[in-house]
Amino acid sequence: MSNFICNRCGGQLNNSEINKKATICHLCYSKARVERIQTAEFLNTNFEKTRSAKLFNKYVLYLKEIDISVETIRKHSGKVLKIFQIAEKEFIKLSDITENWLLNIIEKIRMLKLLNQVYSTFY
């Protein structure tokens, strides 16, 4: 019976987690991921400029402050990370980022994802 209990919080694992032989629940996984993306090691690995790392960290803190769930933060943090990394490479100053630029980058990322799906289907 202990196989069906989360090793971190002691809560009951759901059927999906049990089938995947998970040892921690989705919520604990999300909490750990959100904690990890805020560490200096993660930020230094993923960003070249300190200001970009600080901005990404402030973004995560803001989402927590307005009570966005850790599962939602975890789910979207990878996409947001890509956008911040692209912005870091394309701009000299943060004020260069505009709404139009952001919309264009989101569309480019969607197109790349679509192309990857098409490519993986045929190859």
pLDDT in tens, the chain (123 residues): 456 888 889 889 988 888 888 889 999 999 999 999 999 999 999 999 898 899 899 999 999 999 999 999 999 898 889 888 888 887 766 667 777 877 887 788 777 776 666 666 655
Pick from 5, 15, 2, 8: nearest CA to 33: 8
Between helix 99-122 and helix 70-90 the angle, nearest 10°, is: 100
| C-alpha distances out from residue 20 to 5, 24, 25, Å | 13, 11, 11
What is the rounded distance in angstroms from the CA atom of residue 72 to the CA atom of residue 117? 24
Global pTM reads 0.70
What is the rounded distance in angstroms from the CA atom of residue 10 to the CA atom of residue 5? 6
Query: How high is the pLDDT of residue 64?
Result: 93
CB contact at 8 A, 98 and 68: no
